[in-house]
């Protein structure tokens, strides 16, 4: 799999580190089902998945990547800084 970094261009997977699913952080600090979901529960999609990837040995940017887990097709990538795309 190759990922396209908006700064560096298309790069090999070896330069990247997986940083988890891109999820909406719940509002507020009171414990509830929304926080339980956010911290403990993960989907395991066969298909489109939104994830954070750090370009660790490259430019050090964190990317928001949309990809298909069945085919490894990368559908989009953007800098996570500023909310991604």
Partner 1 sequence: MPELTLIAQNALPQGVVTTLAGTRIEVLPMRRLTALMPGPDAGPLAEALMAQHGLGLPAPGAVEHAEQAECLWFGMGQYLLVGPAPAPGLAEAATLTDQSDAWATVLLEGPAARDVLARLCPLDLRARAFAPGATARTELAHMAASVTRTGPDGFRVMVFRSMAETLLHELRAALEAVAARGMV
Residues of the shown chain interacting with partner 1 in the complex, contacts defined by CB under 8 A: 7-12, 14-15, 56-61, 79
- For residue 48, the SS3 value is strand
Distance CA 38, CA 29 (A): 12
Cα dihedral 45, 10, 14, 77 sign? negative
CB of 85 to partner 1, least distance (A): 16
Backbone phi and psi for residue 33, each to the nearest 5 degrees, phi listed first: -60, -35
Tokens of 7: 């700064």
Closest distance of CB 57 from partner 1, Å: 4
Comparing CB distances to partner 1, the nearer of 59 and 74 is 59
Judged by beta carbon, residue 23 or residue 79, the one nearer partner 1 is 79
Rank residues 2 and 36 by Cβ distance to partner 1 and give the closer one: 2
């Amino acid at each position: 799999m190759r990922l396209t970094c908006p700064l560096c261009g298309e790069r090999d997977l070896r330069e990247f580190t997986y940083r988890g699913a891109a999820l909406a952080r719940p509002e507020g600090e009171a414990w509830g089902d929304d926080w339980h979901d956010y911290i403990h529960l993960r989907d395991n999609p066969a298909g489109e998945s939104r994830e954070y990837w750090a370009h660790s040995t490259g430019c050090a940017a964190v990317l928001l990547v949309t990809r298909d887990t069945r085919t490894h097709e990368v559908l989009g990538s953007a800098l996570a800084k500023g909310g991604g795309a």
